[in-house]
Amino acid sequence: MATMSALFTKTSYPPQSLPKLFNTHFSPALKLSFAPKIQRKRVRIQSGLIDPDGGKLVELFVEKSQKDAKKKEAISLPKVKLTKIDTQWLHVISEGWASPLRGFMRESEFLQTLHFNSLRLENGSFVNMSVPIVLAIDDLQKQSIGESKRVVFVDSDDNTVAILSDVEIYKHPKEERIARTWGTTAPGLPYVEETIAGSGNWLIGGDLEVIEPIKYHDGLDHFRLSPAQLREEFTRRNADAVFAFQLRNPVHNGHALLMTDTRRRLLEMGYKNPHPFASSIGRLYKGR
């Protein structure tokens, strides 16, 4: 897949003439014309999939051989019940969509995201991260956790979902979070009212160990490919470029025209087999 091609583009200019300079008694006025030398611009096209943020795709699933031991350990740990949206964020983190995150954000990561829209890695480099990925808990949950450094996350049916290690609990500055994420604290933002305004006064962060991949059992799970599965599929299709569209609605004519035009432009640039990737976030999140 990793191939290299060079594309040369021509820059053309119309012929130009020098203005009439003088007249003599011996010859007609001298006229000179010339066409400038054609310049060629060399553009280097490197094909292949880009590296994940941080240089490595971070998947947080427990090894199959350790699942039974983790489930037994979870029985004795303090429990935190996840909401539907909490579970969806855990899904995002566990499959590596938010690489290089290894769990819900600790306070230092949360503050970097709020103030700088990025995270600084151990090697000094930065990755974009403009949305806080955090988990709120209330006073009773904080009290039940106490000094424990490990907690278990369970779903609405009390099934064990994941274990959070090296736990850090810190204050949830809701107003600042809303203002810096949305640029306003005005009422009426659906996600804010549903998820943040009534949430707990504390945030809990740490390292995730996910027992089982998140499934929704709605007949669509087989369409929800993880980043690792998508990369395998693009490699199988020998795609030398991938152009992505994130949609709120079903694909309509305008989207189709954009995707068709993007593919045409990539072919003109020198790519041989560019592939589209359409990711729908669904109407639930429209206007958020």
The Cα-based distances of 144 to 83, 139, 273 in angstroms read 18, 9, 55
**According to the model, what pLDDT value does residue 49 have?**
78
- What is the Cα Rg of the chain in Å? 28
**According to the model, what pLDDT value does residue 56 have?**
93
**According to the model, what pLDDT value does residue 39 have?**
60
**According to the model, what pLDDT value does residue 166 have?**
98
Helix (H) or strand (E) holding 119: strand 118-120
**According to the model, what pLDDT value does residue 283 have?**
47
Residue of 270, 266, 240, 264 lying closest to 7 (CA atoms): 270
Quick one: 57-210 is in which CATH superfamily?
Sulfate adenylyltransferase (3.10.400.10)
Where in the chain are the domains?
57-210, 237-285
Q: Quick one: 259 exposed, middle or buried, by C-beta within 10 A (0-12, 13-18, 19+)?
A: middle
The stretches in the chain having pLDDT less than 50 are 1-12, 18, 21-22, 283-288
**According to the model, what pLDDT value does residue 40 have?**
55
As a whole number of angstroms, the distance between CA 172 and CA 45 comes to: 46
**According to the model, what pLDDT value does residue 8 have?**
38
**According to the model, what pLDDT value does residue 11 have?**
46
DSSP structure string for 26-89: SSPPP--EE-PPPEEEEEEEE-SPPPPGGGS----BPPGGGHHHHHHHHHTS-EEE--HHHHHH
As a whole number of angstroms, the distance between CA 69 and CA 148 comes to: 19
Residue 266 · residue 258 · CB < 8 Å: no
pTM here is 0.79
**According to the model, what pLDDT value does residue 10 have?**
43
Residue 120 · residue 111 · CB < 8 Å: no
**According to the model, what pLDDT value does residue 1 have?**
42
Interval 211-256: pLDDT, tens: 999 999 999 899 899 999 999 999 999 999 999 888 877 888 988 9
Render the burial of 81-91: b for 16+ CB within 10 Å, e for the rest: ebeeebbebbb
- Sign of torsion over alpha carbons 138, 144, 145, 150: negative
**According to the model, what pLDDT value does residue 248 have?**
78
